[in-house]
Structure 1
Amino acid sequence: MAAQTRFPSPSRRAFLLSSLACAALIGTAPGRLFAQETKKLKVAGIYTVPVEQQWVSRIHVAAVAAQARGEIDYTYSENTANADYPRVMREYAEGGYDLIVGEVFGVEQEAREVAADYPDVAFLMGSSFKPDGSLANFATFDNYIQDASYLSGIIAAAMSKAGNIGMVGGFPIPEVNRLMHAFMAGAREVNPAITFQVAFIGSWFDPPKAKETAYAMIENGADLLYAERFGVSDAAKEKGILAIGNVIDTQADYPETVVASALWHFEPTLDHALAQIRAGAFAAEDYGLFSFMKEGGCALAPFGTFEGKIPQEALDLVGKRAEEIKAGSFTVEINDEEPKSA
Structure 2
Amino acid sequence: MTFRPTRRHILAGGAALSALAFGLPLRAQSGPIRVAGIYTVPVEQQWVSRIHLAALAAQEAGEIEYSYSENVSNTDYPRVMREYAEGGADLILGEIFGVEQEAREVAADYPDTAFLMGSSFLPDGSLGNFGVFDNYIQDASYLSGIVAGAMTESGNIGMVGGFPIPEVNRLMHAFMAGVREMRPDATFQVSFIGSWFDPPRAKETAIAMIDNGADILYAERFGVSDAAAERGILAIGNVIDTQADYPDTVVASALWHFEPTLAAAIEKVKAGSFTSENYGIYSMMQYGGATLAPFGSFEGRIPQAALDLIAEREAAIRDGSFVVEVNDSEPTAG
Shorter chain as denominator, the TM-score bin is: over 0.9
From 111, 129, 132, the equivalent of 2:124 is: 132
In the alignment, structure 1 residue 183 sits paired with structure 2 residue 185? no
- For the 8 Å contact 2:25–2:274, the answer to whether it is kept is no
Q: RMSD between aligned alpha carbons?
A: 0.9
Match status 1:303 vs 2:295: yes
Counterpart for residue 6 of structure 1: none
Aligned equivalents of 1:315 and 1:305: distance in 2?
A: 15
Q: Partner letter of residue 292 of structure 2?
A: L
Deviation at 1:133, TM superposition (A): 1.2
Match of residue 322 from structure 2: 330
Shift of the alpha carbon at 1:39?
2.0
Structure 2 gaps, min length 5:
1-23
Structure 1 segment 75-224 matched on structure 2, within 5 A: 75-224=67-216
Name the counterpart of 2:279: 287
* SS across alignment from 1:235: helix
Match 1:272 to one of 248, 264, 283:
264
Greater length-normalized contact order (CA 8 Å, ≥ 6 residues apart): 2
Q: CA deviation at 1:35?
A: 1.4
**Per-residue CA shift, 1:211-234, capped at 9, x if unaligned?**
000001001100000000000000
Check if 1:238 corresponds to 2:268: no
TM-score normalised over the length of structure 2: 0.92
Q: Name the CA distance, whole Å, in 2 between partners of 1:67 and 1:39.
A: 12
- Work out the CA distance in 2 between the residues paired with 1:300 and 1:257: 16
1:70-118 per-residue CA deviation (whole Å, 9 max, x = no partner) reads 1100010000000100000000000001000000000000000000000
Work out the CA distance in 1 between the residues paired with 2:199 and 2:32.
38
Give the whole-Å Cα distance in 2 for the aligned partners of 1:110 and 1:187: 39
Tell me, in whole angstroms, the C-alpha distance in 2 between the residues paired with 1:35 and 1:83. 33
8 Å contact 1:32–1:98 — kept in the other structure? Answer: no
Superposition TM-score, scaled by structure 1 size: 0.90
Q: Secondary structure at the match of 1:338?
A: coil
> SS where residue 50 of structure 2 aligns?
helix
Indicate if the aligned counterparts of 1:32 and 1:121 stay in contact, CA closer than 8 A.
Answer: no
Corresponding position of 1:18: none
Per the alignment, in what secondary structure is the counterpart of residue 187 of structure 1? helix
The residue that corresponds to 1:28 in the other structure is none
1:34 aligns with 2:32: no
Matches of 1:252 and 1:312, distance apart in 2 = 23
Q: Which amino acid aligns with 1:222?
A: A
Amino acid at match of 1:324: A
**CA deviation profile, 1:147-191 (whole Å, cap 9, x unmatched):** 000000000000001101000000000000000000000111111
CA distance in 2, matches of 1:164, 1:60: 35
Q: Secondary structure at the match of 2:189?
A: strand
1:68 corresponding residue in structure 2: 60
Q: Deviations over 1:185-212 (max 9, x none)?
A: 0111111111100000000000000000
**Shift of the alpha carbon at 1:32?**
9.1
Q: Tell me, what secondary structure is at the counterpart of 1:299?
A: strand
CA distance in structure 1 between the aligned counterparts of 2:153 and 2:25, rounded to whole angstroms = 57
CA distance in 2, matches of 1:73, 1:277: 13
Q: CA–CA distance in 1 between the matches of 2:125 and 2:287?
A: 24
Alpha-carbon contact 1:207-1:230 (below 8 Å) kept: yes
- For 2:127, give the aligned amino acid: L
Change (3 A) 1:290 1:196: same
Choose 1 or 2 for highest CA Rg: 1
